[in-house]
Structure 1
Amino acid sequence: MKILSVEIYNIQSLRGKHFIDFTQEPLKSAGLILLTGDTGAGKTTILDAITLALFERTNRHGAQKIAEKVISTDEKEAYVSVKFEVNEKIYTAQWNVKRKKDKYETEMWFTDHQDESQSIKQKNSKEKAQEAIQKVLKLDFEQFTRSVMLAQGEFAKFLKSAPKDKAAILEKITNTQIYRQISMETFERHKNERQTLENLQTQRQHINFLNETEVQGYQNQQKELETENRNLEVEIKEIAEKIQLCKQLEQVSNQISDLQKQEEQLQAKKVSIQKLEELCNWHEKTLPLHHQFGLLEGYQTDFECKKSEITKIDEDIQKKQKIIDQEKANLEQKEAELKNFSSIKEKVIEIIQEEIIPAQSQIQSLSEEKEREQEYLQRLEQDIKMAIYRAKIKWQESQNVTENQEKSQIVEQRINELEQILEKASENELNQKIEKEQKIINELESLKKLQEKESSLLQELQVKKKELQNAQKELIELQTQIQFSEEKKALYQEKVIFEKQKKELSELRKELQEGKECPLCGSTHHPFAQNITFELSESETEKNLKESERLLKELQEKILQNQAQTLSTLVERLKKDLKELQTEIQQKSKNLENENINQQNITELIITKEEKVENQKKERQKLRALQTEYSHLKTEQHILGIENKLLQKNLELENLNKRLQEAELKYQNAENECRQIVPEIQFRSYQEFQEELKRHQEHLEQELSKTQEILQQHLNLLTAFEAQKKQIETDLENLSKKISSEQLVLEKAIQEIGLQNIDELQSKILDEKTIKNYKTEIENYKKKCTENQSLLAEKIKEQENLREKVPAKVSWQELEGKKQALEQKRSENQQRLGSIREKLESNEKDLKKYQELQKNIENQEVIVNKWKKLSDLIANPQDKFARIAQNITLEQLIQRANRHLQNLSERYALQKDDREKELSLCIVDRFQADTIREVSTLSGGETFLVSLALSLGLADMASRNVEIGMLFIDEGFGTLDANTLDTAISVLETLQSSGKTIVLISHLAEIKERIFTKISVEKTGKGFSKVLVPYQNFTQNAPEN
């Protein structure tokens, strides 16, 4: 099975049409494809689209209400189409959805490009389409997601879980829960079949029979009772007819009485109907003034609303003024910080020029002088060697002279003393000095490594600081924009509420009814309540409000994406590591101060100390040679002179070292003083320190500029509030003039129709609903009077006809009592008949039931024996059968996983842990003499490789029925180092030789650098993304042959 193309339209974040064609280059020949994009861009949405087209469900959303979960926001239709190949045959699966109001209509199509007669394209055929797709794929949804979309995450969970939880996880991964279900079903089936047999046997024991004599007696009683009941039925029917006539006569008499009462009520209501007619006439007379009166009321309502609006704007101006005062104070604080930093900067530069730079020059000068003294010492050692050589020659010349024997003995005694001194000085002191120098070298090398690490951390810290500063600037800017947008939104919301209140007031005026009190003013007259209408269309204010809400939402999303907090945490961690490292460096530097070591010359001193140790070793050899020469020495005056010079130079060298140490201490104190003044800037060199000061000052200046911009924005908004207030005051003045004008015109028209004032006009005006109800009530009254009179005449005539048919001096109550007595007798007979029939029928049923039960018991015994044998084999409370099946499945999975693991890592192999009763795995470490290790000892990267091997093995098992030509692996590579990542990618690329294409889903930069063929998902804003496929520009970017 191999996917050839995917077409997506309006699915989640992928709004619009997106098409991925795996049959075009470079996707066609690529063995490894990277599906990349930012987190949340929509990479996994492409996998959801594939399973949606094939199975109408996804891993993330399941199958319930899938349509409303996957369709893009505010879209009315969507679809997914997947073209795939199985056994060199091409098929297409498509899933469509359309939204109509609050309902979603879905369709699923299946196309067989080889045989169109097998295609399913009719509506309401989703079940058939899914059956056809699964038949071709030979995979259901669970098998597809395990074999095509690898479940390495589940295997990582399986490897790290407790033994008691591994069985459940393995069931979920390998779908072996069916064996547990078979075992349970077998146990329950045997239990149910055995219970069924016991129930049948119990039923058979409770069956009783009647003998033939009892049956005959019951049959005779049945015939007698049936004859008596037939006679009673005839007599009851005659009495019922007479009762019916009596009841009809009584009913008609009651109806005549009711009609006469209704006639009296109608006459009493006549006066009120006349008053209603008078009100309707007045309404018609005042009809020409309705529109003018409604217009006046509208002006008055607008006037009150404008007054409320001015009050609200005054409150907003006061709030904004407080914010402006606060921003001004913030601006003054920023200016003070900038001024303070400028003075600090001048002080630090003064310290550098007056103390640090002269100290550096003094240290360099003393170091050069020390080198010159050391060269002079070397020359003295050469003179000592030459003097010893000359003394040896003289001693050889005078060896035969007897007169010098006594002096020779004295010289030999002195030579022995010198030999002991030289031996002691040569062996003990030089050895200790060499060991001390070697220890210093080791400390210097360690210090050098720490300083290299410190330099690396400093560089990383500077980068993260810059990123943090940029993120904080962006965050401040976004927060300012959000605050400004929220204020605009609040203003628009208030305007929308005000406009809605105006509209609601108009609607409430329509609901007022004549004669009922108004909840606001208490008036019972509501003229023109139905004559004033407002357009309930979307106003400009509502549009502005929606636009403000949209901008605010975008800004909030940007803040969520801002990484300032994350970068700040990282910078703090780097500072902590750097502080610990600097503490260790200072400790080592302190240990080396006694040896006159300068931190800035550590690298040179390491080389110098190594040379010095080597020279000292050579000097020790020279001293040993001198020891031999001293044994022949006869004179010592010249040597003692040279020794005195050597001792004097050593004293001068020690004095020089003390001066050098004092200069270095002065330099260190000046450097510490700079750090205390500006602790946030690391001191490394004068040039770098000046650049850091300059950058810090620029940062403060940018903060000052940003604060000025924010203040200006608030000032602009305050100006807008004041302009709006001025416009509303102008509107109030115009409305006041209109109200006065309309009142004069309306009062003149009122007097012309005979009314005194506007209040009297208002009392005569009725709304349309009231006038319509009055007219309907008048028409209904007249119609009801006519109908009542006609019906009364008909009922009187019907009463006369019934009196002729009803027997005289007989009431229906007497007839009813006689009828009930006969019915009671019939009921008693019927009960006796029912009892007899029930006994006879029950006896017959019992005979049949006994025969059937006997037959069923024999058949059930056969069934129980069969299930008992099967239950004894595979059904038990400890899930023995499920454990056996799981162990077999796990062994097969391990065999297939080891084939892939061999390619991923030659070091490890999987095997089942036979030491544990639970389902457990262990690792064979081939690099450690096949040592058996727990899987919990694996690192994160090693765990991922093992999980990937298990996933590939599971894919092999799941694809036994169909060849899988394409695999999707979603994330999981973040725990691998560079070498292991290269190995994993190389192994995945080798799967191309078996006809497989691997699609990795990841956003890691390391993977992007290693995989050439990429499908990118890029965000376009507002929560949507687009898919970029490499073949779209492959032709022009392809290298020339």
Structure 2
Amino acid sequence: MKLLKVIMYNLASLEGEQVIDFESEPLRSADLFSIVGETGSGKSTILDAVCLALYGLAPRFYGADNFDYYHTERPNNDQVLDPDDPRNILRKGTKECFAEVVFLARDGFRYRARWSCSIARINYTRPERRLYRITVDEAGRTSEKEVDITGGGRPKRGHKNINNEGLDRIIGLDYAQFTRTVMLAQNSFANFVKADDKDKAVLLEKLTGTELYTAVARKIYEFYKEAEAAYNEVFNQVKAFAVHQLSDEKLAEVEAHKEELDARFRSLQTKLQKLKDQQKWYADLCTLEVAFADEEAKWKQASEKARSLQPVRDELRLLDEVAPIRDVYQTCMNLQRELKELTEEVGRKQLQCSALEKEEAEKRKLLLDVKENYNVIREKQEQMLPLVTEARKQKVELDAQQATVTRLKEEESSLAKKEELLKKEQAENAAQIGELQKRQAEAERILAELMPHRDMLENKNAVSDRLESLDKAVKRWQKESADWKKNCVELENQQQACREEENRLQKSDEELVLCRESIRQKTQALAGVDVEALQQRMADVTKCYTDLERLRKLQAAVTERRKSLSANRLASEQITKELDAAMREVKELTTEREEINRLLPGLEEAWQLASSRSAEHMRAALKPGEPCPVCGAREHPYAEGIAEVLQPVKEEIARRRKRLTEIEERLDASPGGLRLLCSELNGKLSALREGTGRLNAELTEAVGEWTALVVAYPVLPVDVVQADASVLSTLLTTETERIVAQGKQARAEQNAYQQAQNELTAMRRTYDEKQALCSRQREELHRQAAELKQRQGQSEQKRAELQQLERTNGELREALRQDVSLPDWEQAFEQDFEGLLNRLSDMYDKYREATRVQQESVGLLNERKVAAGALEKQLAECQAAVKENKEEIAGAVQIYEAKQKSYIQVLGGADPDETERKLKLQLEEAEKQVQLADKAHNEVVESYSRLSGFVKAAEEQYRKKQVDGTIAQAGVDDFITRYNESAEHTDVLSKERLDMCFSLSADWSGKREQIRQADENVKWCQGQMEARRKVLETHRALQVIPLELLGEECHPAEMLQEKMQQVQASSEELDKERLQVGGMLMAHRRSMEQMQSVGEELERRRKAYQDWKELNDILGNANGDKFRETAQCFTLRFLIRQANEQLRLLNHRYSLEQVKDSLGIRVIDHDRADEVRNISSLSGGETFLISLALALGLSSLSSRNIPMCNLFVDEGFGTLDTNSLNMVIDALSSLQSMQGKKVGVISHTAEMRERIRTQIRVVKVGSGGKSTIEIV
């Protein structure tokens, strides 16, 4: 990458547009140049402009600290800029600024990068950035094409986080790498070589941009702390789970006791189940008796409903008796209906036949008329065909003659146009001849005027070159003459400066003598102070103050531990209360669950028995007034509607089941269950007890330390626990104040001694500085004297050169007097040189143009004269052709008119083809009319024949159906007669009753289904009643209750309930004990399961903790400096390798080596037999050389093997002597030939300005902070 041009506009102190063109002289051929100017003039602004144009960032703003606003809102960033915002570079008082760089990239293309911003009244606009690729086509024309500076990525907002991916790929370096490669920071390396290892690691990290290693070390430390916290979390859980774990002996004892309780509980449950079975049998007996009564009542109701359907049964019997005549009757009815419809259809068809007879007569007459018309048209066509043929023949001949006439007329028009065109060309040619003659005369006149200057104009280029040489020589003489006069003035000023320097040196020597006397007096005053006794007093006071602070912390620790113990005691009491409440709730819920388990089976069994299919059958078999087979009751209130009676029982069962589920969830839910809560509370209680023990130990330790320390202070009590806290605090404060007062007195004495020592040191430093100043002043005086003598010699040499230049100018002017024929050229040369050159160029152009016109006019006149003769000949030939054409047209028109008259006589002028077409159309139309008429007549005849056949067939069908209907009616009448005469039938059959039986609207199937359902319902109710009777007899046969309990005076249900309650009470007491033992076993098993479930996780976290701990012990810590120093050792190794390469170019005497496994650097002095020297032994010039080599090495290391043709070196040359300075300048100059780098040195020292001739000067203008750039 190579910088070609830098353009700046209103940047900081640089007002207006400033341009630095590296492709123009003197920068183009300079290997080394300097950027010089006063402090604050804007030298660094040039580097800021380069970085802004390329990357949108400026070194002076990058990384600046922003303000924190504590009492007001943060201002708008577009109105008040942050300190790190590059828009701060906009010069105050201006509205816009930009920075632009043209550079040659590594892909061979030129690019133009631009950054700009502006301010609109009070708001700054967002910075605008553009990147263009500059291309040159084959014709040498340049064009620009914009390139995406982000490389297709998403643009980022803000002035810190900027997306430069596209630009980074083109240049090959990002912003940090570019600044480290192109802008050397050797001052930072000067600090680096003198720093200790810890500070070296930080500096080297910032210089090389390798902050990653510090971040890695901090991240390792964070992961280590996270792994430690995760491991401790699971470890504490395991400790809490172990609270409920039982020993093997205790576990065996509890399990044996649990088995004994289970056996006793099962025995009681068996006895209770037997009583429940007896209670259930008695309840089922009562239920079955009620069900039998219900079924008997249903049977009686169904029988009564079946008897009420007798009329319907009679109708169905009649329907079955007349069934044989059904088909005959329906046939008779169908034939009567068909005969009626057939009569109506025959009448309609006869009317249609009469209409078709009339229509056939009309169609036959029309057919005869169109046939006669067709014959007439055909005869006419046969007569006209010969005339049409003759007319067509004559029409062809007429069209041919018409074409001949048209062709001759077109030739006539063409010849007329050609004649007109020739006349026009003849007139234009004459006009051109006249114009050429005028131009020739004008050119000859101009040549005659310029004839006296012909020799000068023929050698115009040589004359112009001599004039330009004379102008440059004159300007050079004027400039150097002015410089010589200015130099003479400076020589006088320098002589005056030398005299002033001598006076200052004399004054400095006097001040040095006074300073030496002051140091002697101050030294005598400090000799009588006992420094060791003063330091011992200060140490004793410091120890006492430290002990008192420790006692104060111990008192606070004791108070805090006692408060913590009290808080633990209160927390233990609270947890104990919660544990007791939870145990009580467990007991209550267990009791409720046992009660539900006791009652729920009986309810479920009663519900299943009452709602079973057998119970329904028994209830269906019950009859009103008859005894129930189960209970013997004659009233059956639940024979029907049993669902409403059983619904409350069903709801009660569901409610108890739901409550039982709620109890189980409350007891054993995870999380939130009472048993789990009890386990957790027990764990917390144990942890509090452990914490109380730990606090007691810490309290004992603090009391012991207090006792050991308080011995030296009798005013303080020995027992810190029993002492009053406020009184003890007052005693500590009083004792501390006493010690502080002693410390202040000792500190004051020590400070007074130290102040005197510092004054002595300052005086010695001042003495050294004054002595060094005197040495520098003497050196400066000698240097100025030598320089004055040198400049006086140079002034004399310059005066001789000016005299020689003046003689050369006179010779050149005398030669021009011979060549230039203009009389006033010398006056014009002095007053307006550019006007003289322009005047000479105008005369030369006028002379050359007149010569060209005169030569061209002669040739063109000859051509025009030849063309005039040719045009005259062509015009005569054209006029003869026009005359001949007119004669041919007259003959052709006469023939055409004769043929046209004959053609009109044949067909009267009508077209033969059209006439023939009309005849054919008339004949075709007539033929079509004949066909249509014939078709219509045939259709009518065909329709009439078809209708006649249909009428005859319908009459025959009517006769046959009439006979069939008579037969069917006779069969129906005969069946009615026989039915009424039969003795089996008591009722009379009539035609109306037959119509009723065979009516399509009668629902005989529904009536049969009604009777069938009634009969089946009677049978089903009777079967249900019998089934209930059998079930009741079977249930009575079981007899599970003793007979003595079934008497009329006994109450079996009450007796059984009393016995069940006694057994249930015993079972509940036993179950409570079982639950308590089972809870212990469940807590033990759950503890084991939880410990097993987290065991693998504990091991995994322990392993991760160990791994991160080992890694953290090696590399990690909170601030990241451990890994930073290790990593920077390797970075320094590569940096020293690159620096040695650069140091060989600067000075072969020195090379660098790294102290093994550290950040230490040693210098090998080859001129001292490879002596190894420490950095502290180097002089200022040697330190600068080392720093410069390290900075150049960093530039080479950061460039990533990408060639960078520009290098900027910051200040730091002032500490070098003359030889070292010359050596460094020569080395920097050689970078162009060895590495292709153009080096720019930023300096404001006089030595650099004198030794580097090519300079970019940043010159201040006035006192308003304005600067401009000059390149010399």
TM-score, with normalisation over the residues of structure 1? Answer: 0.36
Highest CA radius of gyration, 1 or 2? 2
TM-score, with normalisation over the residues of structure 2? Answer: 0.30
